[in-house]
Each structure stands twice: as C-alpha cells, then as structure tokens.
C-alpha cells in the first residue's frame, strides 16, 4: 500500500482511537504494509481489531486480522481443488494456490456442502478447481441412489422345504420328511433344494460322482493285465464269511 493508502487506513483507525495522522505515520505504515494492498479486508481488519480489544492498533494487528479474514473465507468456502488428470506436482500446487487466492479475495463465492462435494452445480470456475476427478465423480453419481443388495446372490430368500413335495420320500406339502418310515424334523436335502428353486439333484454332487467314476476308470486303465484279472475274479465276502 502507498503512503496515501496508509493515510486512509490510519484515518479509519483514528475513528476508533482518536489518533492524529501525520505524513510520517502514513510513510511508516506504508513501509510496514508495503506488500499488502489497501482493500476492504484491510479496512475490516481495523474494525475487527477494535471490536476485540482496546489495544493501540499497529501494522502487525492489521496484517494478522486481514490474514485471518481471508483464511476464514477459504475455510468456509466448501470449494476444493480436485486436480486435473496428468498434471505435475508443481502444477497442482500452483493451481491450488490460485484457487485459494481467489477464494480468499472473495472472487469465488462460498458453496453449500452439497455443491462442495459435487452433487450440485458448482459456483467455482472449473478452471480453478479442475472439477471432481473422474473416479470421485463416478462414486458421487451413485450417492442418493438405491444400493443393490449385496446379500442377494449369496443368500437367496429361504423358502420352507415343507412348502414343496419331497422329491426323495414323496412327503406331501406341510408334512415332514420320512426317514425309515418315521417323520423326521430335518428335510431331505433334495427337498430343500427344490424349495429354493434349485434342481433336486445337487449339480456339485453329480459332478463329484462323475469325477470319481472317471478317476476309477483311469485307475483300471493303468492296471497290469494280471491285476485286472485278479480284480475280475474277486468276489466280495458274504455276510456269513465276514462274521465268521
Ligand atoms: Zn423327504
């Protein structure tokens, strides 16, 4: 700020603390605040200082409060830098700083939280924020939609086995399965499968049996002719022989 700017700021301060403002004061303040422009935030910094304390205002107070005012804008803006695909680290830092400067200056209006996460059209210029990255945008587009029930494929809705006729023991609907001619609380697995819309024969079990038969055939194939002849001549022992 120029000495003329500083004189204006000091005149504002005088409204609070009745100081006298001379040319030397204006030059001293301009030197202390030469990197700071005279803007509304600098003026607000003076007002804020005297809203908080009766301490004599110095250039350091103005700098501190102006920095705080700008930082508050960034904190409450709900505007985020989302990155531009393929940018370098240096580019990212430069763009982030440009965005923060624009927010701190008040050039980018604060957004609602909904805008902040990209669910409503943004106030912020895309040139500054880069827009949400593609993967985030994709995830955000799912928010608010029905989430598919992950459990469904693994645990289909169970239907009572008693709601179907048992394919194994032919027990009627509502009746328990029979084992050895007596009602049994546990239904036959085939009945449970049918009740759940699956085939009565367990495809896995059938597959396993098939594999077992193939393995047995391959084993027989490998036997020497005399071993095969031995096996063909083998008769399982009768019950009487077993118990003898
Ligand atoms: Zn049954």
Structure tokens at 77: 């803006």
Q: How far apart are CA 79 and CA 99, in angstroms?
A: 9
Using alpha carbons, list the distances in angstroms from residue 122 to 53, 98, 106, 113, 231. 38, 17, 15, 10, 83
CA–centroid distance, 187 to ligand 1, in Å, is: 6
CA–centroid distance, 190 to ligand 1, in Å, is: 8
Instruction: Give me the residues of the chain with pLDDT under 50, please.
Output: 152, 244
CA–centroid distance, 186 to ligand 1, in Å, is: 9
Locate tokens 């100081």: which residue? 19
pLDDT in tens, 175-227: 899 888 888 888 998 898 888 888 888 777 777 778 878 877 777 777 777 77
CA–centroid distance, 48 to ligand 1, in Å, is: 85
Query: Is 122 within the bounds of a domain?
Result: yes
CA–centroid distance, 136 to ligand 1, in Å, is: 53
If asked whether residues 100 and 127 sit together in one domain, one would say yes
Query: Is 47 within the bounds of a domain?
Result: yes
How many folded domains does the chain comprise?
Answer: 3
Query: Is 101 within the bounds of a domain?
Result: yes
Query: Is 82 within the bounds of a domain?
Result: no
Which residues are within 5 Å of ligand 1 (an ion), measured at CB? 166, 168-169, 171, 177, 188, 191
Q: How far apart are CA 109 and CA 122, in angstroms?
A: 10
CA–centroid distance, 207 to ligand 1, in Å, is: 22
Cβ of 169: how many Cβ atoms within 10 Å? Answer: 18
CA–centroid distance, 146 to ligand 1, in Å, is: 40
Using alpha carbons, list the distances in angstroms from residue 45 to 16, 32, 117. 13, 15, 31
CA–centroid distance, 142 to ligand 1, in Å, is: 46
Query: Is 232 within the bounds of a domain?
Result: no
Secondary structure of residue 183 in the 3-state scheme: strand
If asked whether residues 165 and 205 sit together in one domain, one would say yes
CA–centroid distance, 204 to ligand 1, in Å, is: 20
So what's the pLDDT on residue 215?
A: 79
So what's the pLDDT on residue 41?
A: 94
Query: Is 239 within the bounds of a domain?
Result: no
Q: How far apart are CA 226 and CA 244, in angstroms?
A: 30
So what's the pLDDT on residue 244?
A: 47
Residue 71 structural domain: 3-75
Secondary structure of residue 11 in the 3-state scheme: helix
Run of H or E including 178: strand 177-179
Give 185: exposed, middle or buried? Use CB within 10 Å, 0-12, 13-18, 19+.
exposed
């Amino acid at each position: 700020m120029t000495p003329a700017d500083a004189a204006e700021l000091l005149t504002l301060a005088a409204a609070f603390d009745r100081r006298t403002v001379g040319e030397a004061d204006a030059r001293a303040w301009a030197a202390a605040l030469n990197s700071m422009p005279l803007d509304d935030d600098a003026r607000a910094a003076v007002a804020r200082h005297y809203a908080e304390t009766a301490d004599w205002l110095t250039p350091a107070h103005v700098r501190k409060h102006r920095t705080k005012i700008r930082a508050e804008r960034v904190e409450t803006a709900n505007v985020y830098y989302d990155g531009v695909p393929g940018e370098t680290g240096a580019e990212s830092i430069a763009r982030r700083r440009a965005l923060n400067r624009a927010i701190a200056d008040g050039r980018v209006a604060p957004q609602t939280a909904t805008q902040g996460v990209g669910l409503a059209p943004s106030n912020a210029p895309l040139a500054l924020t880069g827009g949400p990255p593609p993967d985030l945008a994709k995830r955000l587009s799912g928010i608010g939609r029905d989430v598919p029930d992950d459990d469904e494929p693994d645990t289909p809705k169970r239907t009572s086995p008693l709601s179907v006729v048992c394919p194994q023991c032919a027990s009627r609907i509502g009746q328990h399965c029979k084992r050895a001619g007596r009602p049994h609380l546990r239904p036959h697995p085939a009945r449970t499968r049918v009740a759940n819309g699956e085939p009565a024969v367990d495809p896995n079990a059938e597959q396993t049996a098939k594999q077992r038969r193939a393995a047995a055939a391959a084993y027989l194939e490998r036997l020497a002719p005399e071993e095969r002849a031995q096996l063909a001549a083998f008769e399982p022992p009768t019950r009487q022989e077993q118990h003898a």
